[in-house]
Structure 1
Amino acid sequence: MKPTTDKHMIDRAISRLACPLLLAASLALAGCGSLPRIVPDMGIQPAKTIQIKGGRGILSAEQSQAVLDKFKNAKQENLILEKHLAVEEAITGSPLVAGNKVTLLIDGPATYASMFSAIREARDHINMETYIFENDDTGKQFADLLIDKQKHGVQVNLMYDSVGTLNTPREFFQPLIDAGVQVLEFNPVNPALARKGWEVNQRDHRKLLIVDGTTAFVGGINISSVYSSGSFRKFRKKDDEGKDMAPWRDTQVRMDGPVAAEFQKMFIDTWEKQHGPQLAARNYYPKIASKGGEIVRGIGSSPEDPYSVIYATFISAIQHAESLVYLTNAYFIPDPQLRAALKDAVKRGVDVRLMLPGKSDSALVLYASHSFYTELLEGGVRIYERQDALLHSKTALIDGVWSTIGSTNLDWRSFVYNQEINAVILGPQFGAQLQALFDRDLAASKEITLEAWKDRPISDRMKEFGAGLWARWL
């Protein structure tokens, strides 16, 4: 069973474009969004004190420095970490938050188990924002659990994307509504239901769960049974014909601590901009004591913003990389500036590696991604394709100290048309965990060499060319 995705929708739409009128309508629908030009060291003052927020407010300069010192090992690593912190703060404007416990979650089973545990322990409220909420076994498990918590006095607020749930009947959400759950459909496809302008091309691609204002989950995992098995297991599920089913490979992060408030702000801001019903009075911003030693920054982007802060953060972090850039991404359709940043990093001696899917739920996106391989391989970028699993993960590791996990794909749709959300975790400890995960994916991947790539069939080249023409709108 395949979930509904915007990639599937676009595949089908393009295959049906049979006349110039429909083609023009499709292009008009895509909008005229653009990406900002990111200049190295934009707005950065080298002497600026890096400010850190804790559970009780902004830390003093001395307290902030003490927090940073815990993350430092070698002298060179100190300089790299502080540089990334300064770069990011100058671009995002969002606070760096200390005192968090961060847990890396690999694939669906581990993620759902942690989510279920957090939901069961909820005492005040649950805020959930998702692109896909399937009417399947996993979706029903979540729905039943949310209904149970609502009946026991925990306020549940659920926001789902209209396109992402096209295959989910509206009747599926009725028991939630009947139980008192606040349910909000993001940018309804049906213009008659639109609460603001009909902006059907602007989608909510975020995957966010906040429990009691103290715990937040962010990553690439939707609510769907396709995630019911792990991608590193030796034994695979079988389909109705007895064939092995490709598991979905994805990554999520759980954050317990003060940074949950930053993600809470993003959820409530989106709810209000969508003119959702008045949220029930709850303790959405409780005082939170330190839960751990990790420092995290929450970053969100919206098509309503002047430009994508997540995009600017990615580009700047790559431009300032000194040793390595390891990107894992499901839908890789890089714009010219991103491609240039990767190739320039290689010229500086940076080890640049891309972990991309060997198979995808969208053939069109896969071929569009392939259309950029030759340029990148010739530029010294190393490309790997994950085998025996459908790679849906969106992570990055830079210089071993800058890590991010979220919903953002490295494509035009994520950076221009979608609501996205990422967590940036700073420091070598978490970086080592993400490095180990990247190495596990490497062991299950095939490297694409320039020599082998140049020998691919002419039929593939033609498909890449055709798909590449649509890269801007996928």
Structure 2
Amino acid sequence: MTFENAHGPVSTQKSAEIIKALENKSGDDAILKRHLAVEEALNQDSPLVLGNKVRLLQDGPNTYAAMFAAIRGARHSINLETYIFESGKIGTEFADLLLAKQASGVQVNVIYDSVGCLDTPVEFFDRLRDGGIHVLEFNPISPTNVRKREWLLNNRDHRKLLVVDGRIAFLGGINISESYSSGSFSRSSKRKHGKSEAGWRDTQVQIEGPVVAELQKDFLATWARQKGPPLPVKNYFPKLVTEGDEIVRAIASEPSDKTGSPIYLTLLSAIDHAERFVHLTNAYFVPDPKLVRALTSAARRGVDVQLILPGKSDSWLVFHAGRSHYAELLDAGVRLYERRDTVLHAKTASIDGVWATVGSTNLDWRSYLLNDELNAVILGTDFSRQMEAMFDKDREASVQIDPKRWQRRSPLKHVEEWVARRFERWL
């Protein structure tokens, strides 16, 4: 088993020492080693990278504060890739700060998705361009804006990535939107139509260390595939040093992946090899047969499989298509929970206390087949403990689906699920 660090590939002897140290720390010599072996066998194009520091960020306020701090400290470059970039208060704060950094000599480059930013005025991005920021529209809706690119309207850039100075990176599920202006557990949530409304529940990670170079490569690769104009010469790949103890793999997926989404395949493999528990939190749950089979098989062999899913959604079809799979999962012993006090938008997984992932990938057909997505897989016990604490907190705020009551749901619910199920491949 081999790893990479800030200096490149690690020797076989050093890799063995690292594994031994991790095993001793985990308290279970076998389970971590097995997950490491499985992970190494997958995604050969994206290495397992040592020496990273990973900070778990929950909800918009915490994430935006951390991102603003990193942007303010930028000295050379800022690369931002996002699905939604709204023009409201939060979006304007981002725009003002990015323009100020550009004016100070920091090169700012922005990729935004054409469909995700459909409601954002063109003038918002024109202002960024006029300020010297390089702005690229991902797969424009209008074919007249495509220029030298192939017009792929259904391929969307669903990634949420910020890389500052090639040293600090943020990724996860959080867009730049007013939906995140307050936290999902906040008592001072914003009010809408006279009623208190919590901010969306989502998760992001801040990463420092050698793996940031892989995330920088992902941004620049997207820029090149989309035929963006040449970027000003900057030190996008500074010399990186060890920042922490986390092993991280950055996994980017796009529809052109011939063998399927590497993020999806990695998750399936981790579930198939789970021995203790599988805890998933996901915003858009429209599983294909392979995922349903992986989850039910794990539950039947005694693995504690729990899913926290939305109790309300911004997509009627997605919500009911996902619920149409509940009966089969419940019959196999999978425990299902719904977070009904807020819109759940997180995309995370925690398995066996040693394997975790945070990213932009939903458990639906669109993420597997049509979107550009980005996840980080983190191996080790320290970060997994944080993930489990977060999962416990979300579960406490959720309502468990009772199998017997689910069987007695109204005929209307059956009809809604049946109708939504007919469209699940296109959601």
Q: How does the TM-score come out when normalised to structure 2?
A: 0.97
Aligned to 1:377: 330
Shift of residue 63 of structure 1?
2.1
Which ranges of structure 2 fall in alignment gaps of 5 or more residues? none
SS of equivalent to 1:322: coil
Matches within 5 A, 1:12-411: 50-73=1-24, 77-93=28-44, 94-195=46-147, 196-239=149-192, 241-306=193-258, 307-411=260-364
- Aligned counterpart, 2:378: 425
Aligned to 1:8: none
Secondary structure of 2:197 counterpart:
coil
Q: State how far apart, in whole Å, the 2-side matches of 1:144 and 1:235 are.
A: 26
Cα drift, residue 234 of structure 1: 2.8
Shift of 1:65: 2.6
Q: Would you say 1:460 and 2:407 are equivalent positions? A: no
State the secondary structure of the residue aligned to 2:399: strand
> Judging changes above 3 Å, is the alpha-carbon distance between structure 1 residues 107 and 174 closer, same or farther for their aligned structure 2 residues?
same
Amino acid at match of 1:410: L
C-alpha displacement of 1:98: 0.9
**Contact in 2 for aligned 1:67/1:98 (Cα 8 Å):** no
* 3-state SS in 1 of match to 2:337: strand
Match of 1:15 in 2: none
CA distance in 2, matches of 1:470, 1:300: 26
Q: Of the candidates 436, 441, 452, which is equivalent to residue 394 of structure 2?
A: 441
CA-CA distance at 1:76 after TM superposition: 6.7
Map Cα deviations across residues 109-129 of structure 1 (whole Å, 9 max, x no partner): 000000000000011101110
Give SS of 1:163's match.
coil
Partners of 1:284 and 1:77 lie apart in 2 by 39
Cα shift readout 1:112-170 (whole Å, capped 9, x = no counterpart) = 00000000001110111000000100000000000000000100010000000000011
Structure 1 counterpart of 2:284, one-letter code: Y
TM-score when normalising by structure 1: 0.88
**CA–CA distance in 2 between the matches of 1:259 and 1:122?**
18
Question: What is the CA distance between 1:77 and its match in structure 2?
Answer: 2.5
Partner of 1:238, secondary structure, is strand
CA distance in 1, matches of 2:160, 2:406: 35
**CA 1:152–1:377 in structure 2 vs 1: closer, same or farther (change >3 Å)?**
same
- Asked whether the 8 Å contact 2:185–2:198 carries over to 1, the reply is no
Instruction: Tell me how far 1:300 sits from its aligned partner.
Output: 0.6
Q: Distance in 2 between matches of 1:143 and 1:234?
A: 28
CA shift, 1:246, in A, is 3.4
| Inter-partner Cα distance in structure 1 for 2:372 and 2:187 | 36
- What secondary structure sits across from 2:57 in the alignment? strand
Tell me the CA shift for residue 236 of structure 1: 2.4
Query: What's the % identity of the aligned pairs?
Result: 56
On the 8 A contact 2:320/2:416 being kept in 1, the answer is yes
- 1:414 maps onto 2:335 in alignment: no
Q: Deviations over 1:244-286 (max 9, x none)?
A: 1132000000001111001111111111000001011111111
Give the secondary structure class of the aligned counterpart of 2:87. coil
Contact 2:77 2:164 in 1 (8 A): yes
Q: Secondary structure in 2 aligned to 1:258? A: coil
Q: Take 1:105 and 1:274, find their aligned partners in 2: how far apart are those partners?
A: 30
| CA distance in 2: counterparts of 1:262 and 1:300, whole angstroms | 10
Hey, what's the Cα distance between the residues in 2 that align with 1:158 and 1:101?
Answer: 25
* Alignment size in residue pairs: 424
Counterpart of 2:86 in 1: which secondary structure?
A: coil
Structure 1 letter corresponding to 2:419? G
Three-state SS of the structure 2 residue aligned to 1:390 is coil
Question: For structure 1, which runs of at least 5 residues remain unmatched after alignment?
Answer: 1-49
SS at match of 1:249: coil
Write out per-residue CA displacement over residues 13-72 of structure 1, whole angstroms, 9 at most, x where no aligned residue.
Answer: xxxxxxxxxxxxxxxxxxxxxxxxxxxxxxxxxxxxx21111111111222233333433
User: For residues 460 and 436 of structure 1, what CA distance do their matches in structure 2 show?
Assistant: 33
Following superposition, the deviation at residue 211 of structure 1 comes to 0.5
Give the drift of 1:352. 0.3
Q: Aligned partner of 2:171: which letter?
A: V
Residue 44 of structure 1 corresponds to none
Q: Answer whether contact 2:160 2:360 (CA < 8 A) is retained.
A: yes
